[in-house]
Amino acid sequence: MRAASRAGRRLAGALAIGLAVALLASACGASSPPPARLTFTFDRNGSRYITIPAPGGSGSISLTSALPWDAFPAWSPDGSRVAYYQPGSGRMLNRDIYVTTIGTLQTANLTGNPDNAAEDALPSWSPDGDSIAFYSDRDGNGEVYTMRADGSDVTRLTRDPAVDFPYGWSPDGSRILFGSLRDGNLEIYSMDRDGTDPIRLTNDPAQDFAAAYSPDGSRIVFESERDREGDVHVMEADGSRRINLTVHVLWDGSPAWAPAGDRIAFASRRDTNAEIYEMELTYSYLTRVTEVGRDDFRPVWSPDGGRLAFVSNRDFNNEIYVANADGSAQTRLTDDPAPDRGPAWSPDGTRIAFESFRDGRSEVYMINVDGSGLTRISPAP
């Protein structure tokens, strides 16, 4: 009896200790999954990397080619302002969203305040210029938010344990495209501008990303790894009638709609190094725009559809180039030992804003399309 009693006491003691450990672990949050967030890193050469935790904690998924980096500029629809994100200086190294007024070069930090040490990134203007969609992990998880163009009325749109991040708005401003891991892998979704009516648009075990509405809002272009290394796909705005446009064993990506919606420019490694191509959508006619034996990438169309800006390292450094849409008149706009990237045309087509590491960190500059008038937009840290 005494032995049974001692055994009972030992069992009771073990259960008590186990319960205490479980309660302590629960209080410390050990049983809760870690917050899902984008990770922003960089190296000494100014290269930026954006990753997202892979499902199940097995490594990470790179979104570096699919999302804008630090200081990649986004023009307001009327061309009066440029939005971008970048880390602070000193002790505040979290990223914030800034807007610079072009006429005065006055800059406002829209998301920075002593109570917000979160990563705020990926700003995207609404078509009317009144609102900005953006990514933030201010509530612990990476989610999609909107705010007024002056930084007021911040509204959280998504609420899911997986990370969500925005791609952009529909042309009529009624819906927002976003990426998410909420269903186990990286897929493309859309929702109303107030966060209601989320719809899953892609459904495949492979990763689907880099999505953008066509100029008329009827279709969506995106990059997918479902058919080999990566191809450019198009689908209807509701996710139906998906078509693989490029069908190649080597990488095709970074798609960009022409303003008329009749062509898509993209980068491709089908010739070993990355070159710029464009595809006419009615007859799938393919045109090679660049052919220099070194990497050309991230093409963006001029507002009139007549030219393309892109990044090239043909001079052994990343610089901004422009060319006619047929590949003629290729012209180097920037010339600096530091890398220049992320070109964005002003709405009137007269200037190009871009990101540069020439001052030792990512900053925003603009230049006239003839190469004159180089101006730094972002303020000194």
Residue 7, token pair as written in the block: 């055994």
Query: In sequence order, what are the beta bridge partners of 375?
Result: 366
Q: Which residue has the higher pLDDT, 5 or 343?
A: 343
Reading the block at residue 220, the tokens are: 């969506």
Tell whether 235 and 174 lie within a shared domain.
no
Amino acid 92: pLDDT: 54
Number of structural domains in the chain: 2
Whether residues 154 and 224 fall in one domain: no
pLDDT digits over 295-335, tens only? Answer: 999 999 999 999 999 999 999 999 999 999 999 999 999 99
Mean predicted confidence (pLDDT) in 264-279: 93
Please state, for a pLDDT cut of 90, what percent of the chain lies above it.
Answer: 70
Whether residue 29 lies inside any domain: the answer is no
Do 310 and 354 fall into the same domain?
no
The per-residue pLDDT for 32 is 54
Range of the domain at 262: 216-332
Range 289-298 average pLDDT: 93
Cβ burial, residue 123 (10 Å; 0-12/13-18/19+): buried
Q: Please check whether residue 209 lies inside any domain of the structure.
A: no
Q: What is the C-alpha to C-alpha distance for residues 171 and 148, in angstroms, rounded to an integer?
A: 18
Query: 121 and 44 in one domain?
Result: yes
The pLDDT of residue 2 is above 50? no
18 has a pLDDT exceeding 50: no
Say if 267 falls within a structural domain: yes
pLDDT tens digits for 138-194? 999 999 999 999 999 999 999 999 999 999 999 999 999 999 999 988 999 999 999
Do 349 and 225 lie in a common domain? no
State whether 222 and 284 are in the same domain: yes
Which CATH number fits the domain that encloses residue 55?
A: 2.120.10.30
Average pLDDT over residues 359-377: 93
**What pLDDT does 250 receive?**
86
**CA-CA-CA-CA torsion sign (153, 214, 167, 267):** negative
Let me know if residue 317 belongs to a domain: yes
CA distances from 150 to 102, 110, 132, 147, 183 (A): 15, 7, 9, 8, 34
Instruction: Let me know whether 112 and 157 are in one domain.
Output: yes
Count the Cβ atoms, other than its own, within 10 Å of residue 225.
19
Same domain, 178 and 323: no
Look up the pTM and report it: 0.88
Q: What is the pLDDT of residue 268?
A: 93
Give the residue-averaged pLDDT of 12-23.
35
Q: Phi first, then psi: what are they for 374, rounded to 5°?
A: -65, 125
Q: So what's the pLDDT on residue 114?
A: 64
pLDDT band at residue 1 using 50, 70 and 90 as cut-offs = very low
Please indicate, yes or no, whether residues 140 and 61 belong to a single structural domain of this protein: yes
| Structural domain contains residue 15 | no
Same-domain check for residues 234 and 309: yes
28 in any annotated domain = no
User: What's the half-sphere exposure (Cβ side, CA atoms, 13 Å) at 81?
Assistant: 24
The mean pLDDT value of the chain amounts to 88
Strand partners, 136: 120, 143
Residue 25 lies in a domain: no
- Are 286 and 188 members of one domain? no
- Residue 46: its pLDDT value, please? 62
pLDDT value of residue 77: 98
pLDDT tens sequence across 75-128: 999 999 999 999 876 545 789 999 999 999 999 999 987 667 899 999 999 999
The pLDDT, as a whole number, for residue 283 is 86
Confidence bin at 33 (pLDDT 50/70/90) = low
Shortest CA distance to 231 belongs to which of 256, 268, 200?
A: 268
Query: How far apart are alpha carbons 225 and 188 in whole angstroms?
Result: 13
